A and B are shown apart, each in its own frame.
Chain A
Amino acid sequence: MPDNQAGGATPGAEVEVPFRASGFAPTRVPFVAGATFAAVLALWWISTKAGWVSEFALPRPDEVLSSFVEIASNGTLVKHLGASLQRLLIGWTLGALVGCAVGFGVGLSSLARSSALPLVSAIFPIPKIALLPLFILWLGIGEISKVATIAFGVFSPMVIATFGGVDSVDRGLIRMAQSFGVPYWTIVRRIVLPGAMPAILSGTRISASIAIILLTAAEMIGAQYGIGAMVLASGNLMQTDHLIAGVLVLSAMGFAVSQIIGMFERRLLRWR
């Protein structure tokens, strides 16, 4: 500081101040994701080819691929995947819609909060698959019992996510709207719903993965068609190549669902 009249120059050599704020900011390095997958595939292929792992326990990647091509081309996959997607779609939609509605009730009304919330909290920790036998007794072994299990499993996390979202909406915005005389339902539609949307969407993510788990489990317990049934049957027949192909389909299904939700997030939460 040459203009500073108060201080004189301090004797000694100049030492540069080192930069200390590095790290703790991970970013995405291009091509590493692809390389990681390739490495895992290569390791898998080499270990099975060289006989380190018995082919019975883990089939070669190319065998899994050919069995995938086989089930895809002979219509087996379409039949199983179709049955699964239908259950997933109906069950999740049903559970999510009812869950959202109840969540809004709990978030907006004292009566609903006092009555429904304790009930939902009691239902939440039950592993829903334990209820499948009961649903089978009530609703039969057909589609309805499986859809009901999925819907029930989706319901409580959706309620909790939605009402948490409604609770987190800035009260200042609501008071503002009230101070302008905006009607109740307009406030719910224009302020509470969009304000709760981030929480609802993250609830959607959680409940979708719960739905896929329940779907697979329900199909393993009693279904003729469905990816879960296919995986179980392949296991019983010791067709590990089919089994792994089925598991990869489940993985792809989960990935696709999360991509779709991500798309909605980008579209609905553009304002953030």
Chain B
Amino acid sequence: MDLIARSITHSYGGMVVLDDVSLTVRSGEIVAILGPSGCGKSTFLRILGGLEKPRGGRVFTQGEPPAKTLNPLTYVFQDFALIPWMSVEQNVMLPLEHHPMADAERRARVASALQRVNLTEFAAVYPRQLSGGMKQRASIARALAVEPAILLMDEPLSALDAQTRDLLMDDLIRLWNETRFTAVYVTHNLAEAVRLGHRVVVLSRRPGRIRDIVEIDLPHDQRAESSPDVIRAREILWSLIREEAITADREISDAG
């Protein structure tokens, strides 16, 4: 299933946060959206999955989702959004409950999702007992359980420490190689975008516009830090976002 955004424009009050953003995400690719804080990239992601209504423009999907898909557009949130009074297993089960299916299948989906993120032995644990990395893996398991056609990931690693971030990045790459899911991955972290994205969309600061789209035509396992292609991609991206980052850093926050 492809995801197509046409001329998305959005504003809060009088402030334009997205200005005429158009993007097509092809089935099976990971599109990283890179931009400084306040460029409207998270807003764009919320618009893509129907969690926010844009002032202008529309979002379409094209093609049928896979047969097992229960929720074609599925989010992974930065703050995990795990329900504190439900165990890991119950959290993963929640989005399956309202779908008519045999209890055994529901259980099987939960078990397989937990197994894919290596959380099987923590099924009965409450979120507060988990580390940040395990929380995000639980939330990824919840997303996997509905067999999404397109994953919408909103800075999924930003709330984690550097080492955990590396481990989870490896997990994401492994999962992608297993299932070749389609994903939009929003981040302000250049390294993450280069590591994961097949295309990196660079957004400018307010109003958010597409500055450039950088293709990284390299399999994930050939993206070593020292690889010349990776270094080049980083340099191109850094030159695109450097000035924006400096301006962003000097600005007094009014958007929160």
Q: What residues make up the interface of A, taking CB atoms closer than 8 Å to B?
A: 172-173, 175-183, 186, 190-191, 194-195, 271-272
Contacts and interface: CB of A to CB of B under 8 A. Distances in A.
8 contacts: A172-B79, A173-B81, A179-B71, A180-B142, A190-B86, A191-B83, A271-B126, A272-B128
B81 A180 contact: no
Given A172-B79, A186-B98, A271-B126, 16 more contacts: A172-B81, A176-B77, A176-B81, A179-B71, A179-B74, A180-B71, A180-B74, A180-B95, A181-B95, A182-B98, A190-B86, A194-B85, A195-B85, A271-B84, A272-B84, A272-B128
- Identify whether the interface residues of A are mostly helix, strand, loop, or mixed: helix
Interface in B80-103: 81, 83-86, 94-95, 97-98
Contacts of B142: 180
Output the residue of A175, A179, A182 with the most chain B CB within 10 A.
A179
B94 A190 contact: yes
- Nearest 5 CB-CB pairs, A to B? A180-B95, A176-B81, A271-B85, A179-B75, A194-B85
A186 B98 CA distance: 8
Contacts of B34: none
Interface of B: 49-51, 70-71, 73-75, 77, 79, 81, 83-86, 94-95, 97-98, 126, 128, 142, 146
A147 B51 CA distance: 47
A173 B83 contact: yes
A183 B97 CA distance: 10
A175 B95 CA distance: 12
Given A186-B98, A194-B85, A272-B84, A179 B79 contact: no
A178 B75 CA distance: 10
B79 to A, nearest CB: 6
